A and B are shown apart, each in its own frame.
Chain A
Amino acid sequence: MSGSRIIVVEDEADIRRMLEFYLESEGFEVEGIANGGDAMDRLDGDPPGAVILDVMLPHHDGIEILGVLRANAAWKDVPVLMLTAKGGEQDVVRAFDAGADDYVVKPFQLDSLVARLNRLLAR
């Protein structure tokens, strides 16, 4: 839903900038984070409306961050959409087991990503 604040954790600068641009043009307020360490630090702050989280990140991977996020009282109900190049069945199961709400595999469709994000925010 437009107006919501979204955190995008993605180490590839071009993809992060693309998501920031596209989501902002859809009316979201977007905060980009480039690595797992900064994402962990950010968990001490205010929770956003939703998180888009890459799996393969420097310092801490997305699954590890998700585990810490779900253990944090203030963040545990924040919807998390995993965005990753790892599309194997085991990877998807691992992400859902860790508490992901949705899982999108690269290459992805921007419109479809926004639609999934809106669905998560509407819950």
Chain B
Amino acid sequence: MLSTGGESIIVRISILVGIAALALAACFVVLTLVLRAFVNRRRAHRVAVEERWLPIMLEALRKSVREVPRLHRRDRTVVLAEWNRLVTPLSGEGVRRLRAFARNAGLSDVAHRLIQKGRPDERLVATVFLGHQQDLRAVRTLRKLVERPEPIVRSEAARALVRLDPVNGARAVAPVVVGWDDSHPATAISVLADAPDDAVADVLGESVFETYDVVRQARILEILATVQSQRAADVARRMLQRTIEPELIARSLEILRENLRPGDSVLVRRFLRHDTAFVRLRAVATLARLQAPGDQWRIVGMLDDPDWWVRYRAAQATLQSRRLDHRFVELIARIHPDRYARGALNHVLTERSP
């Protein structure tokens, strides 16, 4: 039981806590209002700048604009971003006109200043701008930015270098972007998209043999296959003759399967007895695609492989073979001495039956 004095202390403490909570809530409300006002002001400013500059830039798409308004310091990021958005979907004359406008308006100098001394968001906008503007003065700065750890900064810098000089940019950037282990290969592919496929394929075809990092080699092969599948198949053939890494052998067989030549079966056959199951699996799939004379028996020979997936793929390939009669395949399914082989074939025959 509390005394009267004790109760009054609890009441006082409660009142103080209540006042403190109210004050804190009021602070949050004020802070929220201030932040909202700040955001609204920035948005209003952006809209105002766009309204002032967009008609001029659009006019520049049709004819040369001689009188350009003075670019205020606080407007520069918005103007550069707007210019970037306009130029990105365009090619040809429209791009040339927008570049001329940017030169007249002094946007290049602004971008150079921002890329050196701007905030991170300003640097990013300036990086994209300098790539589109094809300003050769930016090469050294952009090459430094490509080495940065931040994925968005380095990828935009790499993209800018490729836009700036598609052939030399790709040569400089391709060996670096394939080493970005923390990014998906699609990032590297998109960065190199503006470069001629031949230039990219040349660089990647060389760099794949200049490293002993298996993960990187596999990544290069994957990117190369997307850029130019024919060239990737040539590199895969060389890789199959050199490497002992199962990951690389499997990746090379996968690439080869999309661009086969008649003589490839000799290269592929030796992987049917590889120690690693996924290599044997790819070898069977590749031989099945080739349909070379005699390989149907090699594929039948894989039906008793110790790995279920290899047996299953060999059974599929046996059934798909143009060189084996369907009734003969059914006969193998009945009389094969290995019960797992019979199981795999019957499994596939059941899947295919109507």
Q: Which of B89, B92, B95 has the most CB of A within 10 A?
A: B89
Interface of B is mostly: helix
Q: Which of A18-26, A38-46, A68-76 contacts B (4 or more CB under 8 A)?
A: A18-26
Please report the C-alpha to C-alpha distance between residue A15 and residue B57 in the assembled complex, in whole angstroms. Answer: 12
Please report the C-alpha to C-alpha distance between residue A12 and residue B88 in the assembled complex, in whole angstroms. Answer: 12
Are B91 and A107 in contact, CB atoms less than 8 angstroms apart?
Answer: yes
- Contact among B55, B89, B91 with A15 in the assembled complex (CB-CB below 8 Å): B89
Please report the C-alpha to C-alpha distance between residue A20 and residue B89 in the assembled complex, in whole angstroms. Answer: 15
Interface of A is mostly: helix
Tell me how many residue pairs across A and B have CB atoms closer than 8 Å: 44
Residues of B close to A14: CB separation below 8 A: 54, 82, 85-86
Interface size class, chain B: 10 to 19
Tell me if A112 is interfacial: C-beta within 8 Å of chain B: yes
Residues of B close to A90: CB separation below 8 A: none
What are 23 A-B interface contacts by the 8 Å CB criterion? A14-B82, A15-B89, A17-B54, A18-B61, A21-B58, A22-B58, A22-B61, A22-B62, A25-B62, A85-B89, A106-B89, A107-B88, A107-B89, A107-B91, A108-B90, A108-B91, A109-B90, A109-B91, A109-B92, A109-B94, A110-B90, A111-B94, A112-B92
The 5 A-B residue pairs with the shortest CB-CB distance in the complex, in nearest-first order: A109-B92, A107-B91, A21-B58, A106-B89, A14-B85
Known: A12-B85, A22-B62. 14 other contacts (CB 8 A): A14-B54, A14-B82, A14-B85, A18-B58, A18-B86, A25-B62, A107-B89, A108-B90, A109-B91, A109-B93, A109-B94, A110-B94, A111-B93, A112-B92
